[in-house]
Homo-oligomer: A and B are copies of this chain.
Amino acid sequence: MSVLIVGSTALDSIKTPKAFNPKLLGGSASHAGVAASFFTDVNLVGVVGDDFPRKYTALYQQHGLDLAGLQVKPGKTFHWSGEYEINMNRRRTLATELGVFETFSPELPEAYRTTPFVLLANIAPALQHHVLDQMKKPKFVAADTMDLWLNIAMPDLLRLLKRVDLFVLNDSEAQQLVKEDNVVAALPKLHKLGPKYVIIKKGEHGSILSGPSGLFIAPAYPLKKVVDPTGAGDSFVGGLMGYLAGSKGPIETNLRRAMIYGSVTASFCCEGFGLTRTTKTSRADIEKRVKELLRISCV
């Protein structure tokens, strides 16, 4: 089955201690969309300006993303620039220029409204709602978020959590949202906000799923070198939802394996700036790492 992915489609200028890469293809929908494309058909929903490089549109197309839902508006594409510290664990935003993203209203093509799987990648909760409002009985809805929305759009976010099946967030966001330092103790509190399934992402330390049949602890794929972690969380959830949508059988059964696929797609993301490594990856590369990750994490 196919997956609809809405989120930001951006240009990212990324500085690390070793390099500076201006105007890379970025944004939560770009990372999640390309990650999901290895496993199933993807309907992309986003907005870009008329400055959006053709090579990036071509890159989407090479990955088979359906772009009927990608609006092109007069003006500038959303531009984020940020800088990573030496160990890649902390980053700070240098500049955010919203451009056409400021007035973005995701309008779904009619054909998108029956997409069975929906990933509301990181974007303002009001826009995530607006997408859901247009969907006709989706089979499975996942939402990602970021600390910004916890700070400025909490009521919208809390209302959204009652409408999704899976909520994905990172450990510090979980701690902030339910005022609980212990990740394991935070999980039941997150379920109380609505979602049947919750996944807490812990970066290099993997992720933890909580659902009706209990917990599942998924490892991250061990990387000797992280070039650029931007978009790793989006790639994780994109790979996960792509795998779920592309798999037969009950979601509950597939979710564990989907997390492993998410870990692996995220690992490729970290190995290059922006999407440069991910877009050079094949399904066979992914399967090889999945096999390896299972081998090194199961007794």
Known contacts A202-B205, A205-B202, A205-B205; A222/B184 CB under 8 A: yes
A225 touches B182 (CB 8 A): yes
B184 touches A223 (CB 8 A): yes
Q: Among A185, A204, A219, A256, which residue has the most Cβ atoms of chain B within 10 A? A: A219
Q: Which of A208-230 contact B (CB under 8 A)?
A: 208, 214-217, 219, 222-226
A204 contacts across to B, CB distance below 8 A: 183
A214 contacts across to B, CB distance below 8 A: 295-296
- A interface bracket (residues with beta carbon within 8 Å of B): 20 to 34
**Looking at the complex, which one of B215, B222, B298 makes contact with A208 (CB distance below 8 Å)?**
B222
Number of identical protomers: 2
- Nearest CB in chain B: distance from A204 CB, A: 8
- Nearest CB in chain B: distance from A148 CB, A: 23
- Nearest CB in chain B: distance from A186 CB, A: 9
Q: Please report whether the interface of chain A is mostly helix, strand, loop or mixed according to DSSP.
A: mixed
A297 in contact (CB, < 8 A): yes
Chain A residues within CB distance 8 Å of chain B: 86-87, 181-185, 202, 204-206, 208, 214-217, 219, 222-226, 256-257, 260, 294-299
Q: 5 additional contacts, CB 8 Å, given A86-B181, A205-B205, A206-B217? A: A182-B223, A184-B224, A185-B225, A208-B222, A294-B299
List, sorted by A's number, 26 A–B pairs whose CB atoms are closer than 8 Å.
Answer: A86-B181, A87-B181, A182-B223, A182-B225, A182-B226, A183-B204, A184-B222, A184-B224, A185-B225, A202-B205, A205-B205, A206-B217, A206-B219, A214-B295, A214-B296, A215-B296, A216-B296, A216-B297, A217-B219, A217-B296, A219-B219, A257-B299, A294-B299, A297-B297, A297-B298, A298-B299
